[in-house]
């Protein structure tokens, strides 16, 4: 069954060690070898009509949660979903 153009896309990220990211950084890996955050952002840009869900789990700081909220504001079709 093909995906409808409005079917949401979902990414998942579990971060065991959020402290390896800065206090006000998005706690999702984004390296040349593992461009996970870039993949999420690119999906949001390409699939403007779709909701891009990002299920995250980890003990994030207030600053990291604020950075995730800023990501949602910058890309209105991204919705961050906290597992805990």
Q: Locate the domains of the chain by residue range.
A: 1-8+26-83
DSSP-assigned beta bridge partners for residue 82 = 56
What is the model's pLDDT at position 1? Answer: 61
pLDDT tens sequence across 33-77 = 999 999 999 999 999 999 999 999 999 999 999 999 999 999 999
Residue 6, pLDDT above cutoff 90: no
- The angle formed by the CA atoms of residues 32, 48 and 7, to the nearest 5 degrees, is 100
Beta carbons within 10 angstroms of residue 80's beta carbon: 18
CA atoms within 13 A on the CB side of 26: 20
Token digits of residue 66: 């604020």
């Amino acid at each position: 069954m093909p995906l409808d153009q409005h079917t949401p896309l979902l990414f998942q990220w579990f971060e065991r060690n959020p402290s390896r990211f800065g206090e006000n950084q998005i706690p999702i890996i984004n390296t040349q070898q593992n461009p996970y955050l870039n993949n999420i952002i690119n999906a949001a840009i390409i699939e403007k009509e779709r909701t891009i869900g990002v299920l995250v789990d980890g003990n994030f700081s207030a600053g990291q949660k604020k950075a995730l909220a800023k990501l949602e504001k910058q890309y209105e079709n991204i919705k961050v979903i906290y597992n805990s």
